[in-house]
Chains A and B, each alone.
Chain A
Amino acid sequence: MNGAQHILEAFHRHNISTVFGYPGGCIMPLYDALVDDVGVEHVLCRHEQGCALAADGYARASGNLGVCIATSGPGATNLITGVANAHRDSIPMLVITGQVPSGLIGTDAFQETDVLGMTLGIVKHSYLIDDADSLPTIMEEAIELAQSGRPGPVWIDIPKDLLLSDVADAPFPQAQPSEPASPDLKEALAMLRAARKPLLYSGGGISLAHAEETFRAFAESSALPAVVTLKGIGNPGKHNPYNLGMLGMHGSRAANKAVDECDLLLVIGARLDDRATGKLDGFAPNARMIHIDADAAEINKLRDADLAIRGDLNHILKSLAGALQADPLAISEWQKQCRTWYTTGGFHAADNEEPLAPITGPAFIRQLSRIAPDDTVIACDVGQHQMWVAQHYDFDHPRHHLTSGGLGTMGFGLPAAIGAQFADRNSTVINVTGDGSFMMNAQELATIRRYNLPVKLIVMDNQCLGMVRQQQELFYNNRESQINLDDNPDFVAMARAFDIPALYIERTDQIRRGIETILAYNGPMLLHVAISREENVWPIVKPGASNTDMIDETARTAKASKEQVA
């Protein structure tokens, strides 16, 4: 068996049945081996960035390892944004690239780049294979490493000659499963019982730890008012009466108010990102903090925890839930207060009653949320539409919301939706995108067509880079700079060019029919939704300001009246 065949053998051993890739010179031995392989489905995307982001979406939706493959040089450099995206959001991913033959490394050979050096900052770990016999061991180690502890991308760069070399047969090392430690939770329970206003703050770490069900059971049994980060959306479930929604820069007033008022913050699987906390000095000023995370390096990184617990979240949450179920917290006043804040300061965009009125982002997303099936996976892009989805779509599970949280990668949504559809061919997958993001990986429409994936595409088109325009309006004296996209192509015609049917809507009374039509269609379909160029995401916290200084639409109205008077 040669090196390439050993890679496929490792895929089989680990039940890796779907990989995303793009062939080229130095990776050709692996593609040659794929010809004779029946156990691995190779998905050919149309750009390596599409491969990496599809592998990312596959991993997010399924909870399994995402795998992407490319050749040396430009193949590897094109993967980088997708791998960085997975790194920032701790997505388990295996990246395999061909490299120029061993003897040519360092000679500036055709399609040579220093992949190992170039990618150090965006991987959990990486390898440059220099001995074919090490390949089986490294494959085992890499697959385990990508998925264990805090997951992340692991990159293996393999010179072409080693893909072709015979590999000595050796027994495969068996990973020894380790028993999770049982941290002492007495102090955490004592702090929870002593608190009058405890608040649960959860993030993407819940689904990364496959702790969705135990978290939900804990949230229900503790009845703690709960806020979530962008990546934690869906953790408490949409029927949890104490879920206050997303906190932070575009969070709800209710969530940010609760953080400001709480006296104990129970942070689970979150890293206190600046988009969530705002200015740290003003964040949860009256609260003690318990920080529970799988990654020791996140504890005390940005704010000292009064109590830090590192360990397996499933295990910890089960223990906490059991203790609180037996002896519930007495926080009814605080629960009531949080509910009141949610009633007045949650996300409750009203449907526009005027049928001929232009479509607004929040109203559209709320209708989508009501019409789409419960287990729909929404793959967002980055920008205003991403925040409207986060604010107004009622997610019941964190794996139903695929969003580029850490890196904020425009162009993520379409390939991520492809990955999610491969994770479950029967699920409803919708890519909600903007006109800016859509154009960043639009070539993957060809992948949707090739595999006849029933992915639904919703392009919310305001003919500009809306989030940048909004910040220029609010924080740069309305000096618009390079945000205009009013020369976008005709998206309906563009979709049709890929043999994907499409519809255009622009009025409120067309929303329902538009959504129902694309959902009912047996195959991929695009809905082009025209929205106002001037619409903003409200509320907003100025970057670097405290979350208590939220700005909402009244700020713009007040400014406009002032200008009118002047």
Chain B
Amino acid sequence: MNPQSQPSTPSYTINCRMTHEAAALERLCQVVRIRGFRIATMAVETAGEHLNIALTLEGTRPIAMLKSQLEKLHTVAEVALAAGSVARSRSA
């Protein structure tokens, strides 16, 4: 699966806080890709033992599904969908 970005593709901003461990970012990016989203922008800051990651994502699948998959990662402490993101339910 390789979702194509088109003008109408919904865009979302997600803020994620996770433990700064080996392969942390790879783990995060892999879940984003396999669940059908493309990273448009990514900003990472170190905060003590954590990483704060701001992602702008594009994809046509329900963002709630990605959020719940990211929350399943053992080292992810928090995932927040930023205000202004196009939050749609799967059936919408």
Contacts and interface: CB of A to CB of B under 8 A. Distances in A.
A145 B74 CA distance: 9
Contacts of A229: none
A126 interface: yes
A120 B26 contact: yes
In this complex, which of B21, B27, B74 has the most chain A Cβ atoms within 10 angstroms of its Cβ?
B74
A124 B26 contact: no
Nearest to B34: A121
Contact of A121 (B30, B74, B89): B30
A117 interface: yes
A122 to B, nearest CB: 11
Nearest to B30: A120
A216 to B, nearest CB: 29
B74 A117 contact: no
B43 interface: no
B71 A126 contact: no
Contacts of B64: 300
A125 B74 contact: yes
A304 B91 contact: yes
A296 interface: yes
A166 interface: no
Nearest to B69: A297
Contacts, number: 39
A304 B90 CA distance: 8
A296 B23 contact: no
B26 A297 contact: no
B83 interface: no
A120 B30 CA distance: 8
Contact of A128 (B22, B30, B34, B75): B22
A147 to B, nearest CB: 13
A70 B35 CA distance: 30
Contacts of B69: 297
Contacts of B8: none
A297 B22 contact: no
A544 to B, nearest CB: 16
A145 B72 CA distance: 12
B90 A130 contact: no
Nearest to B62: A300
Contacts of B23: 116-117, 120, 126, 128
A296 B75 CA distance: 17
A308 B71 CA distance: 17
Given A116-B23, A120-B26, A130-B22, A301 B65 contact: yes
Interface string A278-315: 00000000000000000111011100100000000000
B68 interface: yes
Contacts of A295: 72
B18 to A, nearest CB: 12
B39 to A, nearest CB: 16
Contacts of A130: 22
Nearest to B67: A297
A296 B74 contact: no
A297 B68 contact: yes
Contacts of B72: 295-297
Contacts of A297: 65, 68-69, 71-72
Interface string A109-133: 0000000110011001111101000
A297 B23 CA distance: 22
B60 to A, nearest CB: 15
Contacts of B21: 127
B90 A117 contact: no
Interface string A128-156: 10100000000000000100000000000
A120 B74 contact: no
B1 to A, nearest CB: 13
Nearest to A299: B68
Contacts of A126: 23
Nearest to B91: A304
A358 B65 CA distance: 50
Interface string B37-77: 00000000000000000000000000011001101111100
A304 to B, nearest CB: 5
Most buried by B among A117, A120, A125: A120
B2 to A, nearest CB: 16
9 contacts: A116-B22, A117-B26, A120-B26, A121-B34, A125-B74, A125-B75, A128-B22, A300-B65, A304-B90
Given A121-B34, A297-B65, A300-B90, 15 more contacts: A117-B23, A120-B26, A121-B30, A124-B74, A125-B73, A127-B22, A128-B22, A295-B72, A296-B71, A297-B71, A300-B65, A301-B68, A304-B89, A304-B90, A304-B91
Interface of A: 116-117, 120-121, 124-128, 130, 145, 295-297, 299-301, 304
7 closest residue pairs by CB, A with B: A297-B68, A125-B74, A128-B22, A116-B23, A297-B72, A120-B30, A297-B69
